[in-house]
Amino acid sequence: MSGAAGPVVVVGAGAAGLSVAAGLRRLGYRGPVTVVGEERHPPYDRPPLSKQVLAGAWPAERAYLMAGGRLEKLDVAWELAERAVGIDRKDRAVALSSGREIPYAQLVIATGVAPRTLPAPDLEGVHVLRTMDDAAALRERLAPGARLVVVGAGFLGLEVAATARRRGVAVTVVEPLQAPLADRLGELTARRLLRLHAENGVELATGLGVEAILGEHEPPPFPLEGAGGEPGGPEPVRRVRLSDGAIRDADAVLVAIGCQPQLDWLRGSGLELDDGIVCDGRCSAGEGVWAAGDVARWYHPRLQRHIRIEHRMNANEQGQAVAANIVGRGEDFAPVPFFWTDHYDVKVQVWGVIPAGAAAELVEGSEDGDSFVVAFRERPGGRMVGALGWNAMRAMPRYRSEIAASW
């Protein structure tokens, strides 16, 4: 082929789905492309949702991808506010929630992930943050002087904590781990990041769980059986009780305890599902079916294992890889992973991987300085497999090149 015959249907209108569509056009595929998206919004960028959009520095539309007429030029049929509810692999069709079916020759699943939730009672002011509408709802709660409890000291929870502090919101972060993010950033940087938050007035309640999220009236602690809202709508959240019995007053709670792929609609499709859609090294999930982005668990040929990556860069790169393989390039997908996270005036960037037990070496700056770089090697003196920059944006491409050279 330089050319897949017949229509391509992409399920998922986020960054990965858009990357597939744009990649197909870039590579010369002129056939029909349909993108199905559950939300009413056109494709948008998620990283700003916890930062510029939540802060109100940008109007939500600023996060729309390929603005200024570029999206229209892709000549893609958009099926927005539509959910895919099943696929018929024999007849090659996707069933939509509206009852329609869309035929495909090549199907790409790029449905992303959904936030994990707590089995909390139905209270107003308990939020997750994944979508643009989630960001708008949470933003309403972050007035100066408000009290926010964040459950989970991951990247999302801490980014929101930083944004909220800058709006004059009192923030408590509750996290069961004593040393959160050490596995993602290395111990040195994880400690430094938590210290940055403490210096900015965030209360870090590490080593503690949430025992109950409470409204005005004291409901039983969760997990609850069949907890429902009060007649006349849910009451507002008032307090959070931690696992040591301490109480924090709360006008809002953000539950940021990670995400998981939503795969129920694919049960019975014959696709292999295992915390993601299992794919080979070319992102193929089976005859005529591909996966890209957060939902794809593909065999990374360089790392020689199946991995799933919930990072913005991977959505782009994997979307491009799927597009290339749909038009018959036959390329393995073996990227050097990349992510970044922003807190106050600090940007942390990581290229490559940080294996458990990696040898960490400070290669630029000092750990208490304004800027530093940590290199990660499989063993002391071994080759570099990861590099982390703390406010070291200009230095990082060099480390990326060094990692890629032996990748």
Smaller CB separation from another protein, 108 or 169: 108
Smaller CB separation from another protein, 155 or 265: 155
**How far apart are alpha carbons 158 and 173 in whole angstroms?**
8
Residues in contact with another protein, counted by CB under 8 A, come to a total of 27
| 344 touching another protein, by CB under 8 A | no
Residues 83-142 that bind another protein (CB under 8 A): none
Residue 227's alpha-carbon distances to 3, 8, 236, in angstroms, are 53, 43, 15
- Contact segment (CB under 8 A) with another protein among 86-94, 182-190, 288-296, 395-403 equals 395-403
Q: Which of 12, 14, 19, 283 binds another protein (CB under 8 A)?
A: 19
| 229 touching another protein, by CB under 8 A | no
Residues 319-338 that bind another protein (CB under 8 A): 320, 338
Tokens of 282: 């070319």
Reduced to 3 states (helix: H, G, I; strand: E, B; else coil), residue 299 is strand
Least spacing, CB of residue 401 vs another protein, in Å: 7
For residues 166 and 199, the answer to whether their CB atoms sit within 8 Å is: no
CB-based contacts of 257: which residues, under 8 Å, 6+ apart?
A: 115, 116, 118, 151, 152, 154
Q: In degrees to the nearest 10, what's the CA dihedral of 231, 234, 240, 241? A: 20
Least spacing, CB of residue 62 vs another protein, in Å: 8
- Contact segment (CB under 8 A) with another protein among 95-103, 229-237, 289-297, 396-404 equals 396-404
| 396 touching another protein, by CB under 8 A | yes
Q: Is 347 exposed, middle or buried (0-12, 13-18, 19+ CB in 10 A)?
A: middle
For residue 293, report the phi and psi dihedrals to the nearest 5 degrees: 85, -155
For residue 286, report the phi and psi dihedrals to the nearest 5 degrees: 155, 175
**How far apart are alpha carbons 265 and 356 in whole angstroms?**
34
| 163 touching another protein, by CB under 8 A | no
Q: Is 390 exposed, middle or buried (0-12, 13-18, 19+ CB in 10 A)?
A: buried
Residue 223, amino acid: P
Smaller CB separation from another protein, 217 or 394: 394
Q: Which of 222, 340, 344, 407 binds another protein (CB under 8 A)?
A: 340
For residues 165 and 199, the answer to whether their CB atoms sit within 8 Å is: no
| 406 touching another protein, by CB under 8 A | no
Least spacing, CB of residue 396 vs another protein, in Å: 5
Least spacing, CB of residue 255 vs another protein, in Å: 26
Helix (H) and strand (E) counts for the chain? Answer: 9, 27
Q: Which of 47, 152, 154, 276 binds another protein (CB under 8 A)?
A: 47
| 397 touching another protein, by CB under 8 A | yes
Least spacing, CB of residue 200 vs another protein, in Å: 21
Tokens of 296: 């794809």
For residue 149, report the phi and psi dihedrals to the nearest 5 degrees: -110, 125
Q: Which of 121, 316, 374, 385 binds another protein (CB under 8 A)?
A: 316
| 251 touching another protein, by CB under 8 A | no
Least spacing, CB of residue 64 vs another protein, in Å: 10
Smaller CB separation from another protein, 87 or 396: 396
- Kindly give the pairing relationship between strand 8-11 and strand 106-109: parallel
Q: Which of 307, 313, 353, 363 binds another protein (CB under 8 A)?
A: 313
Which of 117, 115, 120, 116 shows the shortest CA–CA distance to 241? 120
Per-residue binding letters, 267-306, with another protein (x by CB under 8 A): ----------------------------------------
| 222 touching another protein, by CB under 8 A | no
For residues 132 and 41, the answer to whether their CB atoms sit within 8 Å is: yes
Per-residue binding letters, 22-41, with another protein (x by CB under 8 A): xx--x---------------
Q: Which of 291, 317, 322, 374 binds another protein (CB under 8 A)?
A: 317
Q: Which of 55, 66, 114, 179 binds another protein (CB under 8 A)?
A: 66
**How far apart are alpha carbons 378 and 358 in whole angstroms?**
5
Interacting residues toward another protein by CB under 8 A: 15, 19, 22-23, 26, 45, 47, 62, 65-66, 70, 312-313, 316-317, 320, 338, 340, 342, 347, 349, 393-394, 396-397, 400-401
